[in-house]
Amino acid sequence: MPTLSLSDIDALARAALAGSGAEGIQLEQTTSAIVEAEADGIRTVGLGYLPTYCEHLRCGKVNGKARPSHEQVAPSAIASDARQGFSFAAFHEAMNDFHHLAHAQGVAALAIRNSTSAGVLGWFVERTAKAGLIGLCFANSSALMAPYGGKHRFFGTNPLAYSVPRGNGLPPLIADMATSQVAYVTVKDHAGKGKPIPLGWGVDRDGKPTTDPNDVLNGGAMAPAGGYKGMLLALLVDVLAGGLAGPNFAFQATSFGSNEGGPPDVGQFLLAIAPQAFGNHGDFSERLEVMLDALGQDEGVRLPADSRWANREKAAQDGIEVPDSLVETLEAYA
């Protein structure tokens, strides 16, 4: 199994995407998202997910030549049209105006429509945190998860994420989670390795809990995180990312996992909040560190994204082992 540097991974991803029809902002920003996912240890949506992106570029589910655009539609709101391109490109195209508006108004919202898979939502909110803003991101996806008490796929895994900037050069807090018990790609990874899944991750086609990942993949459904609480969060994500952005709700979108059906046309909804806009209750960064220090007094507790930063540092120093078979698959797309 070869060890690739991050620059090697960048070159591999870039060549595969370009060979599949991505160019310009679509190529640059999607390559960035793939490399960061690998570096951060979230590899199921790094190089492991790249063949799906390449297939979707080739079959027309994603427009690799799309030129996203945005407009300010209210004093604190921006609407972006991804034009069936990657979400990363649409966000990047609107990002500076989005962040400037948040600093000017205290709060700003960005709705991205006609989009596709958002990969790691931490990629989006990290950029907002680096602009000195609290960031929230909601993304709906094609139907994979049964509602609580149901057995048929209706919601996507509908992830959400947040970030909080910190002072003194410290990396931001970043939390990124699916509203299903685990991400769908995690179940696929278990199936590929012939490993069972824990009870509670998904149900079979009859709605019965299962430990066989293939039961979930073949006619079954993901289970919501925390039972009805996960369903309520998935519903909120669909209201924001599908309703306000969209145009499709999860149950209306074509599958992220196949080449059939045309563009999924899902959405992402983002909020940015300027801490300094909310009065003189002391310095936000200093007060935040008081709370985080107190939290860290409980042995065994780690902060959101601690593992992300550790993985990123290790990847930069030591590189990342990538299976030969995956390298060969990606090189064939170039």
Q: What is the CATH number of the domain that holds 319?
A: 1.10.1530.10
Domain assignment present for residue 87? The answer is: yes
What total number of domains does the chain contain?
2
Mean pLDDT, range 264-268, rounded to an integer: 98
β 173-177/69-74 pair status: unpaired
CATH number reported for the structural domain that contains residue 249 in this entry: 3.30.1370.60
User: Which residue range is the domain that position 24 belongs to?
Assistant: 1-59+305-334
Domain assignment present for residue 208? The answer is: no
Among 259, 277, 295, the domain boundary falls at 277
Rounded percentage of the chain residues whose pLDDT exceeds 90: 93
Joined tokens for residue 214: 């293939």
120 and 1: one domain? no
Closest CA to 65 of 32, 29, 33, 22: 22
Query: Of the given ranges (210-224, 230-244, 273-287, 289-303), which has the lowest mean pLDDT?
Result: 273-287
127 and 173: one domain? yes
Q: Render pLDDT for 93-129 as a digit per residue (tens, 0 to 9).
A: 999 999 999 999 999 999 999 999 999 999 999 999 9
Give the pLDDT of residue 281: 64
Give the pLDDT of residue 195: 95
167 and 261: one domain? yes
Give the pLDDT of residue 280: 67
Cβ atoms within 10 Å, residue 257: 16
Which residues neighbour 256 within 8 Å (Cβ) at sequence distance 6 or greater?
52, 116, 117, 141, 142, 264
120 and 255: one domain? yes
Q: Are 213 and 191 in contact (CB under 8 A)?
A: yes
Q: Are 72 and 40 in contact (CB under 8 A)?
A: no
168 and 316: one domain? no
Joined tokens for residue 108: 């700003």
11 and 52: one domain? yes
Domain assignment present for residue 232? The answer is: yes
Backbone angles phi, psi at 266, to 5 degrees: -90, -175
Mean pLDDT, range 173-199, rounded to an integer: 92
The rounded distance, in Å, linking the Cα atoms of 142 and 106 is 33
311 and 259: one domain? no
Mean pLDDT, range 237-264, rounded to an integer: 96
Q: Render pLDDT for 15-65 as a digit per residue (tens, 0 to 9).
A: 999 999 999 999 999 999 999 999 999 998 999 999 999 999 999 999 999
Mean pLDDT, range 178-189, rounded to an integer: 90
113 and 14: one domain? no
109 and 248: one domain? yes
Residue 1's pLDDT band (boundaries 50, 70, 90)? confident
The mean pLDDT of the chain is: 96
The rounded distance, in Å, linking the Cα atoms of 176 and 172 is 13
The rounded distance, in Å, linking the Cα atoms of 61 and 214 is 25
**In which region does residue 157 sit, left (phi positive, over 0), alpha (psi from -120 to 50) or beta (all else)?**
alpha
251 and 171: one domain? yes
108 and 252: one domain? yes
Give the pLDDT of residue 185: 83
81 and 14: one domain? no
Domain assignment present for residue 164? The answer is: yes
Domain assignment present for residue 238? The answer is: yes
Residue 177 has pLDDT above 90, yes or no: yes
Residue 3 has pLDDT above 80, yes or no: yes
